[in-house]
Amino acid sequence: MTDKVYVEKSRESGVSSNMAVRTCSLSVDTRLPESALHSQVRGVCKALLRKWAEVDDSKISVSKVTGGISNMMLKAEVDSENEKDLQPVTVRVFGPDSDAVIDRDRELQAITYISSAGFGAKLLGVFGNGMVQSFLVGETLDHLEMAKPEMAKLIAMEVRRLHELEVPGSKEPQLWHDLYKFIDRASGVSFEDSKKQKAYETISFDNIRAGVDEIKAISDRLKSPIVFAHNDLLCGNFMYNEDEGKMQIIDYEHSTYGYRGHDIANYFNEHAGFDCDYSL
């Protein structure tokens, strides 16, 4: 196991993310039976969390956390009266092939910085196909809860706070780069299933690219402010702690600099829920 230090500073914000992020080469295979999967999670925690290293495996319980679309989320905690200072953690295992659409290096740089600035869970360590973070107490919202005025107010305040953050790195909007990357990758797909392949061949990627070109030209004229954007403001990425009356934004794997208007529009679009009921 090695320790790696990601040094990122922002003079503008006055917040420094100098911190040692412990790394290990272990991975978690989500295809394994539950008992074997949990054993691997325990191994990751003991490798990355110094105070857990000597804890007996039988004292570490693992359970699945609800939520998470592209990742598997697990909670690990030490069940011992003698280890009360060991707080539970969240183990986030990246979904299979999710690296094709998510830049993990970019995500790690962002999370390393923004977690030190007080956003989301604290980053505790990185392993082969995931990361270990502090466990946040609260409940994620559904799309109906997200629309409640009292929740919308808290969400707006937290999104504004995020948009005001100065994060090291390129300030160029990544939206277009990512869209064109997705188009390039999608245009090279093929299917063994003849019906799927036939349907796929009806797609004109030239038309899709032309449509993106047109939207980009319009967006350039609007001159929307460039901010550090979340880019995935769906209901499940808002966590509310009722006891503290605190709203937190979670899951920053898509976060980059981008258009403020795009982030806000994404939030309102998510009010329709996963079934896309635009009457809501």
Give the pLDDT of the chain (280 residues) as one tens digit per residue.
444 433 333 333 333 444 568 899 999 999 999 999 999 999 999 999 999 999 999 999 999 986 556 789 999 999 866 666 789 999 999 887 777 667 778 788 888 888 888 898 999 999 999 999 999 999 999 999 999 999 999 999 999 999 999 998 889 998 999 999 999 999 999 999 999 999 999 999 999 999 999 999 999 999 999 999 999 999 999 999 999 999 999 989 889 999 999 999 999 999 888 888 877 6
**Alpha carbon of residue 73 to chain centroid:** 11
Query: Where do the CATH 3.30.200.20 domains begin and end in the chain?
Result: 2-136
Residues 40 and 32: their CA atoms lie apart, in Å, by 10
Q: Is-contact 119 163, C-beta < 8 A?
A: no
pLDDT of residue 84: 63
What is the value of pTM for the model shown? 0.80
- What proportions of the chain, in percent to the nearest 5, are helix, strand and coil? 40, 20, 40
2-136 to CATH, choices 3.30.1130.10, 3.30.1370.160, 3.90.76.10, 3.30.200.20: 3.30.200.20
Query: Where do the CATH 3.90.1200.10 domains begin and end in the chain?
Result: 138-280
Residues 126 and 107: their CA atoms lie apart, in Å, by 12
Three-state DSSP class for residue 138:
coil
Class of domain 138-280: alpha beta
Range list of H helices, the chain: 34-48, 104-116, 143-146, 149-163, 175-186, 194-200, 205-222, 260-269
